[in-house]
C-alpha cells in the first residue's frame, strides 16, 4: 500500500494514510440554467450601469477603485458608460459585512492600488512585529523554526471586514454606486455577450410571500406583557404588515396584539454621496426634472434606488384605533394607509389614508393572511368602505 510520511527534523516520522478520495471527485449536480439566463426585466425594473462588479470583497472593490481612477482621467470614456459608469452589488448590509477573516496582508497590492495613501492611513492593526510557529502534539506544542512560506516580515494585520468597508468608501468617492443587501442571482447573457445580472428578490420568504412579520418568541412575550397588566402590545420588525391577535388574558379579558404594523413612513437618507453627483447627473436631471438647479439628492438617486423599494407591501400600513368599553376591548378600527409606492423619492414615503376600496381590502387582506400564517385564530374583520373593524368574538 502507498504511504506518505511527514517528517520534521528531530521528530518521529508520522505515517499518513494514502489519499483515496477528494471532495472534487464529488461535484454537486449543477444545472447551468439555474445561473445563466436571458435578460427579461422591463425597462423600469432595470438599472443600466456601465461596469458592474458583483461582490464587495477585496477583489471587487479594488476593481471598482481602479476603474474609478482610470475613468477620472478619461471623462470621454466615463461619459460613454452612461449615468452609472461603475456599480457594485454585495449581499452584505455594507460592503465587507460578510467577511470574517482577520487577515495578515501583504500590502504591496494596496500600495500599487493607492499610491498616494500611506499604509499607516489604512484601518489596520499595524505591521506584524513577531511570529512563532508551533508543531502541536496532544499535550504540548513544540516551537519550530518558521518555514519560509510562513514568514510575515513586512506584512500588516487587518480585519478584512474593516478594510473592505474603508475600500467601499474610497470606491464611492471615485463615483462607484455601491448597492448593499443585493444578491446577484443569475448572469444575464444575450447573443453571446454578458448583459448584466438578475438580482434576488429581497424581503420575501421561500415561497415568494411577505414574511409573517413576527418572530415566534414574540407571541409568548406579548401574552406575558398583557397578563402582567399591559392593555395593548404593539411591535414592529419586518417592513410589512404582520398578524393581529385578539388575546383573551386569564382574569383580564380581551386585548389587542399587533405583531407588526409595517412602515408608517419612509425616509431614505442618503448619507454619502459623491461630491460631483449633481454635475455627473445633470443630463439625467434635465430629462427627468424640469428645474435641475432645484433638484435634491433624492432626485438624483431616485432612479437608482427603485429596486431597493421593489415591493408594494413595504409601502402599506394601517392606523389602528383601539376602543375600550368598561375596561374591556370593544373593537379595533383599521384605517389603511399607503405611502406612494412607485412615486419618486421626493414624494413617496409620506402616509396618506387609502381612498379606494380595492386597495383598502388588499391591505386589510394582508393582515388576515399573515394572521392565518402565524397560526392565530381567524379575525372577525368586517370591511366597510375604505376601512375595517375587528370585533372581539364573545
Ligand X SMILES: Cc1cc2nc3c(=O)[nH]c(=O)nc-3n(C[C@H](O)[C@H](O)[C@H](O)COP(=O)(O)OP(=O)(O)OC[C@H]3O[C@@H](n4cnc5c(N)ncnc54)[C@H](O)[C@@H]3O)c2cc1C
Q: Which residues bind ligand X (CB under 6 A)?
A: 54-60, 89-92, 98-99, 101, 103-105, 160, 183-184
Give CA–CA dist 327/348, Å, rounded.
39
Q: How many CB atoms lie within 10 A of CB 296?
A: 13
| CB-nearer residue toward ligand X: 60 or 336 | 60
| CB-nearer residue toward ligand X: 167 or 337 | 167
| CB-nearer residue toward ligand X: 14 or 194 | 194
Measured in degrees and rounded to the nearest 5, phi and psi for residue 298 equal: -60, -40
| CB-nearer residue toward ligand X: 164 or 317 | 164
Q: Using CB positions, name the residue nearest to ligand X.
A: 57
Joined together, the cell numbers standing for residue 16 give 499518513
Give CA–CA dist 291/386, Å, rounded.
37
Q: Going by C-beta distance under 8 Å and a sequence separation of 6 or more, which residues neighbour residue 383?
A: 360, 361, 364
Q: At what angle do helices 160-173 and 58-72 cross, to 10 degrees?
A: 20
Measured in degrees and rounded to the nearest 5, phi and psi for residue 151 equal: -65, 135
| CB-nearer residue toward ligand X: 99 or 354 | 99
| CB-nearer residue toward ligand X: 94 or 319 | 94
C-beta of 54: minimal distance to ligand X in Å? 5
C-beta of 118: minimal distance to ligand X in Å? 20
C-beta of 237: minimal distance to ligand X in Å? 24
C-beta of 166: minimal distance to ligand X in Å? 14
| CB-nearer residue toward ligand X: 184 or 261 | 184
| CB-nearer residue toward ligand X: 183 or 209 | 183
Q: How many CB atoms lie within 10 A of CB 4?
A: 10
Q: State the sign of the Cα–Cα–Cα–Cα dihedral 252, 254, 258, 259.
A: positive
| CB-nearer residue toward ligand X: 155 or 236 | 155
Q: Where are the alpha helices (DSSP H) in the chain?
A: 58-72, 75-80, 108-113, 160-173, 217-227, 277-280, 282-288, 297-305, 357-373
- Which residue, chain included where needed, has cell 380595492? 358
Strands annotated E in 14-89? 14-16, 36-37, 51-54, 86-89
348 Cα distance to chain centroid: 21
Give CA–CA dist 211/241, Å, rounded.
9
C-beta of 186: minimal distance to ligand X in Å? 9
Listing DSSP states for 111-171 in one string gives: HHH-TTS-GGGSSEEEE-----EEEE-SS-EEEEPPPGGG--TT-EEEEHHHHHHHHHHHH
C-beta of 101: minimal distance to ligand X in Å? 4
Amino acid at each position: 500500500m502507498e504511504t506518505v510520511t511527514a517528517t520534521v527534523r528531530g521528530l518521529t516520522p508520522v505515517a499518513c494514510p494514502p489519499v483515496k478520495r477528494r471532495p472534487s471527485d464529488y461535484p454537486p449536480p449543477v444545472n447551468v440554467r439555474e445561473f445563466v439566463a436571458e435578460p427579461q426585466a422591463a425597462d423600469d425594473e432595470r438599472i443600466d450601469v456601465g461596469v458592474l462588479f458583483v461582490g464587495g470583497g477585496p477583489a471587487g472593490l479594488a476593481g471598482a477603485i481602479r476603474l474609478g481612477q482610470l475613468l477620472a482621467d478619461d471623462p470621454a470614456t466615463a461619459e460613454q458608460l452612461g449615468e452609472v459608469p461603475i456599480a457594485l452589488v454585495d449581499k452584505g448590509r455594507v460592503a465587507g459585512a460578510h467577511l470574517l477573516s482577520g487577515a495578515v496582508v501583504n500590502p504591496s497590492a494596496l500600495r500599487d492600488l493607492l499610491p498616494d495613501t500611506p499604509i499607516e492611513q489604512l484601518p489596520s492593526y499595524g505591521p506584524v512585529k513577531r511570529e512563532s510557529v508551533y508543531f502541536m502534539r496532544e499535550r504540548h506544542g513544540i516551537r519550530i523554526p518558521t518555514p519560509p512560506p510562513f514568514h510575515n516580515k513586512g506584512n500588516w494585520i487587518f480585519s478584512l471586514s474593516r478594510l473592505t468597508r474603508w475600500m467601499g468608501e474610497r470606491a464611492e468617492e471615485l463615483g462607484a454606486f455601491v448597492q448593499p443587501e443585493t444578491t446577484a442571482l443569475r448572469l444575464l447573457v444575450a447573443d453571446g455577450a454578458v448583459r448584466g445580472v438578475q438580482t434576488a428578490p429581497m424581503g420575501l420568504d421561500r415561497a415568494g410571500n411577505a414574511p409573517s412579520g413576527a418572530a415566534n418568541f414574540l407571541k409568548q412575550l406579548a401574552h406575558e406583557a398583557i397578563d402582567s397588566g399591559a392593555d395593548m402590545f404593539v411591535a414592529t420588525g419586518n417592513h410589512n404588515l404582520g398578524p393581529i391577535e385578539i388575546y383573551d388574558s386569564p382574569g383580564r379579558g380581551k386585548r389587542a396584539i399587533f405583531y407588526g404594523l409595517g412602515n408608517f413612513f419612509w425616509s431614505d437618507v442618503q448619507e454619502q454621496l459623491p461630491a460631483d453627483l449633481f454635475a455627473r447627473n445633470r443630463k439625467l436631471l434635465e430629462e427627468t426634472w424640469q428645474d435641475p438647479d432645484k433638484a435634491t439628492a433624492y432626485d438624483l438617486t431616485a432612479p437608482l434606488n427603485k429596486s431597493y423599494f421593489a415591493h408594494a407591501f413595504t409601502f402599506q400600513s394601517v392606523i389602528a384605533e383601539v376602543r375600550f368599553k368598561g375596561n374591556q376591548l370593544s373593537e379595533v378600527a383599521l384605517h389603511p394607509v399607503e405611502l406612494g409606492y412607485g412615486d419618486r423619492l421626493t414624494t413617496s414615503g409620506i402616509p396618506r389614508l387609502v381612498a379606494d376600496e380595492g386597495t383598502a381590502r388588499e391591505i386589510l387582506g394582508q393582515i388576515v393572511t399573515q394572521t392565518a400564517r402565524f397560526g392565530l385564530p381567524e379575525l372577525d374583520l368586517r370591511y366597510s368602505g375604505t376601512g375595517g373593524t375587528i370585533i372581539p368574538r364573545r
